[in-house]
Amino acid sequence: MTSFSVIGAGRVGTSLALALTGKGWVLKVVADRDPAAAREARKAVGRGVATADIRRAARGADIVFVCVPDDAVKAVAGKLARADAKWPGRVVFHTSGLLPAAALEPLRRKGAATASLHPVRSFPGKKDGGHLFRGIFWGLEGEGKAVRTGRAVARLLGGRAIVIKEKDKPLYHAACSLASNALVSLESLAAALLESTGIERKTAEAVLVPLVQGTLQNVKKIGLAGALTGPVSRGDVRTVREHLAALDPYPAQERIYVALAKEAIRLIPGNRVPAGRIRALKRLLEGKRPPLPDARRTSRRRVL
């Protein structure tokens, strides 16, 4: 029976502890510099020892997961390496999407097998449990035994590991952040536009949720290009011109609209839209458009 310890009792650490214990693994220690957080995680899991002393996590577990913020990973690795513990034969993972396995170098020098093992999903809370890991991908970077163990962890929890090169970790993490975190920011900007029409903010946010959920389901079923809908995908030049005119007082949203519309043009499958309309859309998005003679274009530009 595999034993493990978790350092960092936040959303990822607690969710991972719940998922692994649900698969029969034995939690030895959950450590966090905030003792209350450690106790909360231990209570949620229902087993293990809660402590604020991370060095206790260095003893007695086959695998140690370091689930702390990026800036703290190297310091934690150093403290673990200085603990009175034997590391040969054991595996240590950190769950940062940005940092490479080299952030755990002090432990590798002590004989531990090390890797970065990053779950590609967002974690809304600490107590959601193992279902959060089903069907997801894990970014895995490291060597030898740690990579093999990382693959096994991903499979155990119903996911799949993809191996990332050390030099590509920042780009990999930027892609993940763009897909998830930037989506939230984009929805906030869209909700602000709805709010400008007089819709209450809470309602504006609610209006967009089914739309986005439906789009993501389409992406899952038929891929990005197949899921593309809207005026750009139809080559509807007039509608895009109307959008740009309406967005003129909102420069932040306008810049994002233009950038994403250009990417949408690139995604349009061949022959769906006549070449002439594609050229017209590109000229329009490059700013080569005549002004619309109506009140919607205003010299006062408001930044949300």
251 pLDDT above the threshold of 70? yes
6-22 mean pLDDT:
96
Q: How far apart are CA 102 and CA 187, in angstroms?
A: 36
The helix/strand/coil state of 163 is strand
Q: pLDDT tens for residues 202-240?
A: 999 999 999 999 999 999 999 999 999 999 999 999 999
Q: How far apart are CA 211 and CA 233, in angstroms?
A: 17
Q: What pLDDT, on a 0 to 100 scale, did the predictor assign at position 291? A: 52
Say if CB 80 and CB 106 are below 8 A apart.
yes
Helix (H) or strand (E) holding 15: helix 11-22
The pairing of strands 160-163 and 3-7 is: unpaired
Q: How far apart are CA 227 and CA 10, in angstroms?
A: 35
CATH architecture for residues 3-164: 3-Layer(aba) Sandwich (3.40)
Q: What pLDDT, on a 0 to 100 scale, did the predictor assign at position 125? A: 80
Please state the domain extents for the chain.
3-164, 180-285
Cβ neighbours of residue 22 closer than 8 Å, sequence gap 6 or more: 129, 130
Say if CB 289 and CB 244 are below 8 A apart.
yes
- CA angle, 125 as apex, 24 and 177 as ends, to 5°? 105
Q: Please provide the size of the chain in residues.
A: 304
For residue 180, which of 97, 251, 102 has the smallest C-alpha distance?
Answer: 97
Read off the pTM.
0.88
54-65 mean pLDDT:
93
For residue 69, which of 12, 136, 145 has the smallest C-alpha distance?
Answer: 12
DSSP 8-state secondary structure symbol assigned to residue 37: H
The pairing of strands 113-119 and 49-51 is: unpaired
Q: What pLDDT, on a 0 to 100 scale, did the predictor assign at position 288? A: 57
Q: pLDDT tens for residues 114-168?
A: 999 999 999 888 776 678 999 999 999 999 999 999 999 999 999 999 999 999 9
Count other Cβ atoms within 10 Å, centred on residue 41. 26
Q: pLDDT tens for residues 70-101?
A: 999 999 999 999 999 999 999 999 999 999 99
